[in-house]
Amino acid sequence: MNTALPTRPNTTRFPLFDLLSPRGRMPLVIGGLLIGVVIGWASMRFLAQPMWVAALAAIAILIPVGVLKWRDDAARFGRTLMLLSILLTAQGAHTLEHIVQWVQYNILLLPARQSSGIVSPANAEWVHFIWNTWVLIMVLLLVKGGMRNLWAGFLLGIVIAHSIEHTYTFVRYLQVLEELRQMGITNVTAQGLPGIIGRDGWLARSPLTQGTILCSLPGLTTAIRLDVHFWWNVIEMTLLVLAGHVFLRRHFGKRAEPTNGA
């Protein structure tokens, strides 16, 4: 007889919407957002806390709802799609933070030091290094779990390159801090150093690239660090969405195919 594996109850035209949907937990999401906004406003209004404290309070309230949702994803779709759901949510929020920084600098015309996003303490070298290492591990797990398509290949390449960029800047950060300590300077930060690409980056200033076209490539050797990392994350997020979309279409398409059984 012919039997069919269970398929999704909703359309598979845009399966990412279904994967990211909180489904029956929408009231918890809305309630958490409202509580987070109220607590954040109260902390800023009555306790004189900065905006990043309010933002972290809202995130902390929503995390338990996210954990419940991702547990449901694991039971309903499997661990690989649960990881995809987590990465899409987390990297989406991270990309939004970079968009806020870009708007602060390019639209609101704030100085670079003040264009640090919503959760400003997270704009630190060690945070960037750990975050991008985590993203690389997650993408590798997704590829191992079956997310293998053209967009996933591009995504993996960009994530590796992005991780190398932040590894370079983190190592330079530690080196500069050590140089400052040796000079007896302990009250100066070394945040915001140029990386491999961008203005004053390795590509623009390295002896290996001098006298070649590599040291004068528009954007790659002229963009400020804030713009460089804005584009890193926008490109990375775009490729993640495309790779996830193709993966989900194929995954749920296979689930819907009939199989022969006795």
Residue 4 corresponds to which amino acid? A
Q: Where are the domains of the chain?
A: 79-260
Which of the four pLDDT bands, split at 50, 70 and 90, describes residue 230? very high
The C-alpha torsion from 157 through 161 and 163 to 166, rounded to 10°, is -160
How long a stretch of residues is the chain?
262
The pLDDT of residue 210 is 92
What does pTM read for this prediction?
0.86
Tens-digit pLDDT profile for residues 164-211: 999 999 999 999 988 888 888 777 777 888 899 999 999 999 999 998
The C-alpha torsion from 121 through 125 and 129 to 135, rounded to 10°, is 40
DSSP 116: -
Tens-digit pLDDT profile for residues 69-109: 999 999 999 999 999 999 999 999 999 999 999 999 999 99
CA-nearest of 117, 123, 72, 114 to 96 is: 117
Interatomic CA distance for residues 16 and 9, integer angstroms: 14
What tokens were used for 20? Answer: 């990211």
- As a whole number, mean pLDDT of residues 62-73 equals 90
